[in-house]
Amino acid sequence: MQMMNVAVKQGKGEGEVAEVLVVGHFEDDASLKGDAATVDKALGGALRAFLSCKEFEGKNQQIVVLHTQGEIPAKRVLLVGLGKKQDARLDTIRQAMGCVAKRVRQIGAASLVTPVLGQGIPRTTPLELAQAMTEGALLGLYQFNEYRTDQNGAGKSLSRMTLIEPHTERVAKLREGVRRGRAGAEAASFVRDLCNHPSNVMTPSRVAAEARAIGKERGVKVKILEQKKVEQLGMGAFLGVARGSHEPPKFIILEYRGGGRGSNGKAGKPIVLVGKTITFDTGGISLKPAENMEQMKADMTGGAEVLATVRASARLQLPLHVIGILPATENMPGGRAIKPGDILKTLSGKTVEVQNTDAEGRLILADGLAYASRLKPAAVVDIATLTGACAVALGQFAIGMFGNQDGLKAQIREAGNRAGERVWEMPLWDDYFEQLKSDVADMRNIGGRGGGMITAALFLSKFVGAGVPWVHLDIASTDWSERERAYIPKGPTGIGTRLLLQFLIDQAKLPN
């Protein structure tokens, strides 16, 4: 999709020619402050009137629009609520800007001007606020119209947003924030696009083609392992899942080598990202119920997020060595499909008894993690729509996190907080492995009803090399939304993408 242009300009909001001028207000502020107060004065108290009559209270995402009648150069002023300052965080600003962008588009305006919102929120910088504003506005405008013949109707589209900053010394920081925000929004939108495509379009071969396109980015190389090569390597778990499909599996590897400041160059140990890439999941022989099965086109979200993160890393030219791994296949109930009771030999040499073919994500990730461990990584992060148990345990707002090193988990947690894609740590205790013991193989691929998210993560942990720092992110709770939210559309959300990118930005030690 064509994304809105976002720019930073030195100036003052009340003096800018614009179709819409945006100002914000915290609910617990007794009076208008900062830019809102200045604009209100120029309008002769018109904004205060909304507060006085309680038509506007500053509640989170509350919006009022008024025409300026020529009192200032902007045609309209949009006042957006930021909620209570004590509760505000970076994601408050993202949400506000997502609502603002949609409202401005709704009224038919093509451009908006805004000062930096949220100044005064503790532990935030102007750069981070500009990044959050850019992400919220761009993601709030997201639409997927690829298969609509009417292209969602006619009319104006919001094409330009300008951040206004009166202080010269802060303009460069804001521009960097916009650059990062645009990269994050582009990445998440790319994931949404990939997961919105139907599975007859977004096949493993199409995912490989998307990877090859990313290989044209500066510093990125792509390798696609076809079925014959995968067989030679001995990836029995990945191939077992692929057996039922007529679509050939693809084991996709992207490598980005960043240069510049702080880079370890060729000698640097890579950060390896592994994403579950099941382009459609029927459950295989252990067939899923028909209801909502169409959503299983998004069972490739983890892989899509790895693709998008590698592309964004290259576009930001992060001084890092990053490798993305995507085991891509369908899970289908064909005549050659694996059956409950079958035993698979994995790349690691360990054997797995398949007791449920719908627990296939952990099988392809087992070989993906074993391959990643051979790369002598600095860290491995896998991300997957792995278990329905995650959604039961955490609902729709938290990503399940497991890991084997406290430092890496803390870094992921901090990145999630800043990205507004929060994680919640779950236990990775070996006691649960009792549920995975098999009578005929090293382990089985399910551990029973209790603790399903935990036993799935524990299964994966057995394929991570000794001494390799590792985190597993289960996004089955957050990858799909049943309703539209401030900057989250109904359907595929792309949640997890900006977390991964923020983690890499933090690893690159870029200034904030």
For residues 281 and 287, give the distance between their C-alpha atoms in angstroms, rounded to a whole number. Answer: 9
For residues 309 and 71, give the distance between their C-alpha atoms in angstroms, rounded to a whole number. Answer: 46
For residues 274 and 388, give the distance between their C-alpha atoms in angstroms, rounded to a whole number. Answer: 20
Q: Please answer whether residues 131 and 167 qualify as being in contact, where contact means their C-beta atoms are separated by less than 8 angstroms.
A: no
For residues 296 and 279, give the distance between their C-alpha atoms in angstroms, rounded to a whole number. Answer: 8
Question: CA-CA distances (angstroms) from residue 437 to 238, 248, 442, 443, 444?
Answer: 21, 32, 7, 5, 6
Q: Please answer whether residues 185 and 193 qualify as being in contact, where contact means their C-beta atoms are separated by less than 8 angstroms.
A: no
Q: Is beta strand 423-425 parallel, antiparallel or unpaired with respect to 399-403?
A: parallel
Contact partners, residue 69, CB within 8 Å, separation at least 6: none
CA torsion sign for 402, 404, 409, 411 is: negative
CB atoms within 10 A of CB 193: 19
Q: Which single residue is written with the structure tokens 């980005």?
A: 256
Orientation angle between helical segments 361-373 and 452-461, nearest 10 degrees: 30
The radius of gyration computed from the CA coordinates of the chain, to the nearest angstrom, equals 24
The two tokens of residue 250 are 């693809």
Label residue 395 exposed, middle or buried (CB < 10 Å: 0-12, 13-18, 19+). Answer: exposed
The two tokens of residue 102 are 């949609």
- From 48, 85, 160, 288, active-site residue: 288
| DSSP letter assigned to residue 265 | G
Q: Is beta strand 271-275 parallel, antiparallel or unpaired with respect to 321-331?
A: parallel
Does the annotation count 33 as an active-site position? no
Does the annotation count 418 as an active-site position? no
- From 170, 250, 315, 362, active-site residue: 362
Catalytic residues, which ones? 288, 362
